[in-house]
Amino acid sequence: MLYWCEGDKYTSPNRYKVAITTTDVKMQKLFVDWLKEYYLIDKNQIKLRLHIWEDINEEKAKEYWANELNIPLENFTKSWVKEKKGNKKVHKNGLCRASIDNKELFNKIMRDINSEFLTD
């Protein structure tokens, strides 16, 4: 249900991305654990990308997410750094996208969703 409701289901002719982007570490951990337990995805296959604001310490944010999700720092891709405007509340560790590009996995998850939730 989490992936069906919150997941990025981006596809293009050459890319099939299974991903969730959130500020909620518990939700991200559930997603990562689900990939590992039910789809036998090795944590080294999961890529992380931060969406942070310019006043956030990128290295500390990476360490936070890596430690919480038990994924190596080497799995981070380039962070997306946004300019902070106004007094908007900024999440101190940014948003984290956990993703894997895998056509077979994408198709399997979509089949599982269809068979579990969309049957007549």
Q: Which domains does the chain have, with CATH numbers?
A: 2-117 (3.30.1330)
In DSSP terms, which residues pair with 95 in a beta bridge? 51
Q: Quick check: 115 pLDDT over 80?
A: yes
CA distance between the termini of the chain: 18
Q: Is the pLDDT of residue 5 over 60?
A: no
Look at the alpha carbons of 84, 88, 91, 94 in this order and tell me if their dihedral is positive or negative. Answer: negative
pLDDT at 4: 55
Per-residue pLDDT band at 7 (split at 50, 70, 90): low
Of 7, 36, 35, 34, give the one whose Cα is nearest residue 19: 7
Q: Residue 5 carries which side chain, given as an amino acid letter? A: C
Q: Which amino acid, one-letter code, is at 75?
A: N
The pLDDT value recorded for residue 89 is 66
